Amino acid sequence: MDELPNRPWNPLAPAPPGLDWKDRMIDKIVSSMEAAVAGIPDGATVMIGGFGTAGLPVELIDALIAQGARNLTIVNNNAGNGEQGLAALLKAGQVRKIICSFPRQVDSQVFDGLYRSGQIELELVPQGNLAARIEAAGAGLGAIYTPTGYGTLLAEGKETREIGGRQYVLEYPIPADFALIKAQRGDRWGNLVYRKAARNFGPIMAAAARCTVAQVQEVVALGELDPEVIVTPGIFVQRVVQTPGI
Partner 1 sequence: MKRLDRDQMAARVARDIPEGAYVNLGIGLPTRVANYLPPEREILLHSENGLLGMGPAPEPDQVDPELINAGKEPVTLLPGGCFFHHGDSFAMMRGGHLDICVLGAFQVSRGGDLANWHTGAPGAIPAVGGAMDLATGAKQVFVMMELLTKSGESKLVEQCSYPLTGINCVTRIYSDLAVIDITPQGLLVRELVEGLSFAELQQMVGTPLMLPV
Please state the closest distance from residue 73 (CB atom) to partner 1, in A: 20
Please state the closest distance from residue 227 (CB atom) to partner 1, in A: 4
The residue among 128 and 223 lying less far from partner 1, judged by its C-beta, is: 223
Residue 181 backbone class (left: φ over 0; alpha: ψ -120 to 50; beta: rest): beta
CA–CA gap between residue 41 and residue 177 (Å, rounded): 9
The residue among 213 and 225 lying less far from partner 1, judged by its C-beta, is: 225
Where on the chain is the footprint of partner 1 (CB under 8 A)?
Answer: 11-12, 24-26, 135, 137-141, 187-189, 191, 207, 222-223, 225, 227-228, 230, 233-236
Facing residues of 166 across strands?
163
CA–CA gap between residue 245 and residue 102 (Å, rounded): 31
Beta carbons of 143 and 7 less than 8 angstroms apart: no
Of 238, 138, 224, the residue nearest 185 (C-alpha)? 224
Of 178, 231, 240, the residue nearest 203 (C-alpha)? 231
Is 3 exposed, middle or buried (CB count within 10 Å of its CB: 0-12, 13-18, 19+)? Answer: exposed
Please state the closest distance from residue 133 (CB atom) to partner 1, in A: 13
The residue among 43 and 233 lying less far from partner 1, judged by its C-beta, is: 233
Please state the closest distance from residue 102 (CB atom) to partner 1, in A: 26
The residue among 141 and 170 lying less far from partner 1, judged by its C-beta, is: 141
Please state the closest distance from residue 228 (CB atom) to partner 1, in A: 6
The residue among 24 and 195 lying less far from partner 1, judged by its C-beta, is: 24
CA–CA gap between residue 234 and residue 188 (Å, rounded): 8
